[in-house]
Structure 1
Amino acid sequence: MRLSRIIMALTVGLAVVAVPTAAGAAAPQPTPSATTDPPQPPPYTPQLTSLTVNRPTIYLGETVVLTGTGFRGNETVTISVTVTPLAAPARGQAPARRSDGSTVAMAPVAYQASAPLTFTARTNGEGRFTKSYRPSVTGLLTFTASGRDRSASAELQVLDKKQPLPVTGDSIGTPMKLGGGLVGAGAIMLLLTLAWRRRQRLGGVAH
């Protein structure tokens, strides 16, 4: 009897000890976080800055339109012009020389003092601008637009004014040949008329 009580007491004690352990095992465990760092924003892609001209080649006296994009909004952009002569100047005509030592091909007086080599443009809220420019010299013009921290370049080829086609020997000879033929035909007609009148006179005298 005493032995059975001892066995029963041991059984109850083991049961009491096992209950908290089972309860702890059954409790839900926290799920570990998959990421430890906060999400990062996508990388910033800067807008490309560009400067273009609407025509790559013009003749002296014509106008081009410069278009700049990718600059800061509502800023003043400075545009400088560098000129590289396309050919040697005419005999007896020295090239113009700027303060930095570079040369500028001379142009007719009618076009001088009409196109500055430095001017400005104002961008809109999207960093875009357009500017008209009429070159006063021939050559390869390089435009460099510079904002506060951005710049871009474009090139323009300016040729001399269109010249009228020269008059060739063939174009002169044809009218001269035609005129000479008409003069000869007129002389023959005049001789035939004089001969006919003379014949008429002689015939009248014979009757």
Structure 2
Amino acid sequence: MRLSRIIMALTVGLAVVAVPTAAGAAQPQPTPSTSTDPTQPPPYTPQNPALTVNRPTIFIGETVVLTGVGFGPNETVDITVTVTPLAAPAAGRAPARRSDGSTVAMAPVAFQASAPLSFTARTDAQGRFTRNYTPSVTGLLTFTAVGRESGRTASTELRVLPKKQPLPVTGDSLGTPMKLGGGLVGAGAIMLLLTMAWRRRQRFGGAAH
């Protein structure tokens, strides 16, 4: 009899403990939030480094845009410029021709501004950068870009031509205009003397009548 009471008490106790657990399991669980975080930039994807200019050939004094891609994200890129002189025909230094058919070489005119031959650029999160550059020398310019952290490198070329200069005035070219001018002045003086003589003749002729 006593054993049956003990078993009954244990059964009732287990039932009481099981009720809150079952009630908690029956409660609805919160649904996961459907909201998302703010849009993040796309992950950095490495690509082959490249360096380009928007115009392959310019005249001195004009500006080009350098564009680099494929470097490390948010890194400093060192850019150096190497200058190779152009051949005389490519540089447009054609000789000036005198009036007698002979030629005289034209001296190049130096550009006053001074552009650096080394500078830096900063990439964005995608490893890209742009930089304006205005050359101060003529020739074939080679730009070489090297990432400080990534070690990635790329290069490109730019041909810079001198501005077209007016033909120089030589002594021979001045001779012909001066000769023509002198001849015209002489002819004008003769015409003036003839006119004065004619007027004087008319005056004295009229007085005689």
Matched, 1:184 2:187: yes
Number of the residue aligned with 2:132: 132
Query: Could you tell me which of 190, 194, 199 is aligned with 1:196?
Result: 199
Structure 1 residues 178 and 126, CA gap change in structure 2 (3 angstroms): same
Matched residues in 1 for 2:198 and 2:115: separation?
74
Number of the residue aligned with 1:60: 60
Matched residues in 2 for 1:62 and 1:196: separation?
65
Where in structure 1 are there 5+ consecutive unaligned residues? 1-44, 89-106
Matched residues in 1 for 2:83 and 2:126: separation?
30
Q: TM-score, normalised by structure 1?
A: 0.54
Structure 1 residues 172 and 130, CA gap change in structure 2 (3 angstroms): farther
- Runs (4+) of structure 1 exceeding 6 A deviation are 168-172
Q: Identity over the aligned pairs, expressed in percent?
A: 58
Number of residue pairs matched by the alignment: 142
RMSD of Structure 2 on Structure 1 (CA): 3.4
Q: How does 1:55-204 map to 2 (within 5 A)?
A: 55-87=55-87, 108=110, 110-111=112-113, 114-147=114-147, 148-167=150-169, 173=176, 177=180, 180-181=183-184, 184-185=187-188, 187-204=190-207
Could you tell me how far 1:87 is from its partner in structure 2?
4.7
Where in structure 2 are there 5+ consecutive unaligned residues? 1-44, 89-108
3-state secondary structure, aligned to 1:195? helix
3-state secondary structure, aligned to 2:112? helix
Matched residues in 1 for 2:206 and 2:83: separation?
88
Matched residues in 2 for 1:119 and 1:66: separation?
12
Matched residues in 2 for 1:46 and 1:108: separation?
43
Matched residues in 1 for 2:82 and 2:158: separation?
10
Equivalent residue letter for 1:57: T
Which deviates more from structure 2 when the two are superposed, residues 120-129 or residues 48-57? 48-57
